[in-house]
A and B are shown apart, each in its own frame.
Chain A
Amino acid sequence: MTELTFKIIFIIIIFGLTLLIAMYSTLAERKVAAFLQDRIGPNRAGPFGILQPVADGLKFFFKEEIIPSTSNKILFILGPCIAITTALMTSAVLPWGPAITINGQIYNLQVADVNIGILFVFGVVSLGVYGIMVGGWASNNKYSLLGALRASSQMISYELAMGMSLIALLMSSGTLGVREIVEQQPGFHWNVFYQPLGFLIFMICAFAETNRTPFDLPECEAELVGGYHTEYSSMKLGLYLFAEYINMFISSAVMASLYFGGYNFPFMNELGLSPNAISIIGSSVFFLKIIIFIFFFMWVRWTIPRFRFDQLMHLGWKVLIPLAVLNMMLTGLFILFFKS
């Protein structure tokens, strides 16, 4: 098997897994909500409601497609396309497991090990906001426009704090490559123990970047009807909602690999297993960490009420950014006095 065929198969697997996890996140969201509110949740389609995402998807496809007559048609269609494309692109630089050996040849479980690594994720995520802005503006609806403006101002504000919390991590790891960052955290030496404040800031910003509660003001039902997707129907609405779940999955994966050791797990080198067995366990552990993060996202959504918009801006600019700068300075001082 050549490197290229392996890469193609691997890309298809990662693509499928991303879509599958995003699909079942929609069911998990409703099940977790039901669990937290002491209900049963969807249980009609298949055993334990396991076919519910399929039923939802089919329903989206069969719904009538409405494009408002006063909208900007091309941009109206382009909006959800941008949202889903950027959401699916980010998984390219994440390492999904340790290298595996097949017939004496070593294959990295990573689509592209570029030396800008984590900045690629940042670049693609910062483009994701165009999907929301273009769609919200093209709808030609006041509520949609307000939702789109809220989304963009929120994402720009929180991107700053996120980037600054990341700088502290990059200072201590000395590389931008995600695989190298993960390899620096063997066993239980996870970055979260060295960068607790940085992780907290990064996680709060990840919630804001994915437009999840308590920061889901762009689609705040009580004020904005449906926010930026008020005018959307059928699968175009489905793509927007789906992009949100994919973003949640990807940001969980990024947090797990940057701060929680990625595919590393405690005692991985003391067990005495073959490298391929370690690879399989490592990948499973990575997905377990991702699923725990996704559960945490949902747990927060059904527990904490949403912020007011001025509170959101206050938190972003006056609390998180100064804290991130402080964290950066402390890390710099620590490296200067204790590591050199």
Chain B
Amino acid sequence: MIEIAFFSLSILAVIFAILVITAKNPVHSVLFLVMTFFSIAGHFVLLNAQFIAVVHVIVYAGAIMVLFLFVIMLMNLNKESEPAKPLWLKLSGVITSGLLLLVLTAVFRKTVDKTAHVLPNPDIGLVKNLGMTLFNDFLLPFELSAVLFLTAMVGAVFIGKVKAGN
């Protein structure tokens, strides 16, 4: 049962991820990306991490992608406004991304551990356990990332202010 769910979710995630990059219309791309996030959230539920799954949906699908969609809708992208790229640029893009694929495959082949792992605590993804771990074992990284977010927020506000002044 769980295997069927796992494989169907994985296949869906891969199909939607491919559709994201092949879709001609950027709005369709964004919507396919939202569907990809949903299938990944399903994987979190399979790992008994309901809290992470729902936060994933709220933050990525519910907030960030809405902002993406917002910007893309305002830009009104279509075929006519798409910049025509010269042939050499396309060729160099193909070559560099091919090289990147090669390097990544080599790295994954050598480093990824293919043995099956069992989580020491299968309920780690539940709210209570996750909170305990975050605020006991990982308190410093957690607080530091909070400071990082605050810095990013202040930076964004600052950039916006400068543009409004000009």
Contact = CB atoms under 8 A, between A and B. Distances in A.
A133 B65 CA distance: 12
Interface string B37-72: 000000000000011001101100111001101100
Interface SS of chain A? helix
A171 to B, nearest CB: 12
Interface string B88-127: 0000000000000000000000000000000000000011
A156 B67 contact: yes
A176 B130 CA distance: 13
B62 A126 contact: yes
Contacts of B127: 115-116, 176
A114 B125 CA distance: 13
Given A116-B127, A119-B54, A120-B54, A152 B61 contact: no
Given A127-B62, A129-B66, A176-B127, A145 B73 contact: yes
A216 interface: no
A128 B88 CA distance: 44
Given A115-B127, A153-B70, A159-B63, A123 B27 contact: no
B74 interface: yes
Contacts of B27: 72, 75, 137
Contact of A123 (B31, B57, B67, B126): B57
A148 interface: yes
Nearest to A78: B31
Interface residues of B, number: 21
Interface in A26-60: none
A246 interface: no
Contact of B51 (A119, A129, A134): A119
Interface string A108-135: 0000001110011011001101100110
Contacts of A148: 73
Given A133-B69, A148-B73, A156-B63, A122 B58 contact: yes
| Size bracket of the A interface | 20 to 34
A127 B61 contact: yes
A133 B66 contact: yes
Given A75-B27, A148-B73, A126 B126 contact: no
A217 interface: no
B66 A156 contact: yes
Nearest to A174: B128
Interface string B3-37: 00000000000000000000001010001001000
Interface of B: 25, 27, 31, 34, 50-51, 54-55, 57-58, 61-63, 66-67, 69-70, 73-74, 126-127
11 contacts: A72-B25, A115-B127, A119-B55, A122-B54, A123-B54, A127-B61, A130-B31, A149-B73, A152-B66, A152-B69, A155-B66
